[in-house]
Amino acid sequence: MFKPHVTVACVVQAEDHFLIVEETIHGNPRWNQPAGHLEADETIIQAASRELWEEAGIKALPQSFLAMHQWIAPDSTPFMRFLFAIDLPRRITAIPQDDDIDQCHWLKADEILSSSQLRSPLVAESIRCYQQQSRYPLDILKAFQWPFSA
C-alpha cells in the first residue's frame, strides 16, 4: 500500500518579505518555509499553525490554501505537501521553539528563488505559488466526523 508522508507548509509574507526557517542538515544551512509532518490527532490546518509556532514562534492561523503538491524526494520518499498562505501586516521577530531550527529570516522572493540553500525545490515552488495569487478558502479542507476537539 502506498503511504506518502503528509506534510504542511506556510508561506508567510509581510512587507514584501517571506519568512524562511534555517536548519542545519548534514552540516549545511538549509532554508524552508515553516513546515513539518501532520500528527495523528490534528487537522491539516491545525498542523500548519502548530508548525509555524514550533519553527518560528509565531501564533497565527493559515488564511488561505494555496496548493497541494505530490512530490517524490531525491531519496525516493513520497510526499503530499499542503501549502498555506499567511499575510501579516508587518515583519515580526521570529523565534524558533524547535531546537532543530537555527534561525529565521525575512527575505525577498528573489533571494529565495535564487538561493542554493533551499531544502528542496518545493521551497521555491511555494513562493511561485504564492506569487500567482491563486487562493482557496480553508473550508475546502474538511475534517469529517473529527473525533478530536478543535
Q: Is 44 left (phi over 0), alpha (psi -120 to 50) or beta?
A: alpha
User: The pTM is what?
Assistant: 0.94
According to the model, what pLDDT value does residue 59 have? 96
75-88: string of b/e by CB count within 10 Å (b at 16+)? Answer: eeeebebbbbbbee
Show me where the domains of the chain are located.
5-138
Q: Please write the tens of the pLDDT for every residue from 46-76.
A: 999 999 999 999 999 999 999 999 999 889 9
- Per-residue pLDDT of 97-122, as tens digits, reads 999 999 999 999 999 999 999 999 99
Domain 5-138: homologous superfamily in CATH: Nucleoside Triphosphate Pyrophosphohydrolase (3.90.79.10)
Q: How far apart are CA 131 and CA 11, in angstroms?
A: 10
